[in-house]
Amino acid sequence: MIEDNVELVRMLRRVFEGAGFALDHAGTADDGLLMLEVGHYAAVILDIGLPDGDGRAVARTMRMRDDPTPVILLTARGSVADRIAGLDAGGDDYLVKPFAPEELVARVQALLRRSGMIAHRAVTCGNVVFDPASRDVRIAGVVTVLSARERSVFEALIHRHERVVAKSQLEAQLFGMGDELGSNAVEVYVHRLRRRLAQAGARVQIVTVRGVGYMLVASA
């Protein structure tokens, strides 16, 4: 998120983490472009009124770099001309302040579905089914309650079941740049997830591939 309103960012970080996303933050256009240059992001939430320039210039720069990352523009200016200018600059969606945080999360999820980064159909491994739309985990037809980060780990693993998911990929999905990240943080969440799945009778295993990452496989 490229936004200079720190209180807004703090509030939205909690909302997005509750929905299973890690939210990184830049307070200026320059910092945002630098972060986009060195990192890979699923989506960008971009304020138009930044202290060092117009957010639409950031969107134009992204497109000039051939960066296809979906962009949602935020602004207090909601005229038709403003919306058209934002979309013409390279934005994919437009949300006028003030807005409901849940709507912003829903718009991000919609953009990710359209770009193929979130699957449309349920994914099955063993007797476990993951619904990308609701993000429900069902074991033998019963919804299993997971914490936001446990669910994020499971989502990454089930989308690539029978294939190895690198530990670094799980770290990037779980934690934003402002989070304190312990050396064994991923291991802790994997351990908790294994315990919850076993208690619910899941016929799957999370296999540790030493030095690489983890893999979800069906078990007997």
pLDDT digits (tens, 9 = 90+) for 4-62: 999 999 999 989 888 878 888 999 999 999 988 877 788 999 999 999 989 999 999 99
What's the whole-model pTM score? Answer: 0.63
Assign 3-state DSSP to the chain and report helix, strand, coil percentages, each to 5. Answer: 40, 20, 35
Domain 123-218 is of which CATH architecture?
A: Orthogonal Bundle (1.10)
Give the C-alpha separation, 214 to 193, whole Å.
Answer: 12
**159 with 131: CB under 8 angstroms?**
no
Q: Which run of H or E residues covers position 53?
A: strand 53-54
pLDDT in tens, 169-211: 888 777 665 555 566 888 999 999 999 999 999 999 999 999 8
pLDDT in tens, 117-154: 555 578 899 999 998 777 789 999 999 988 888 888 89
Give me the residue spans of the domains in the chain.
6-114, 123-218
Class of domain 6-114: alpha beta
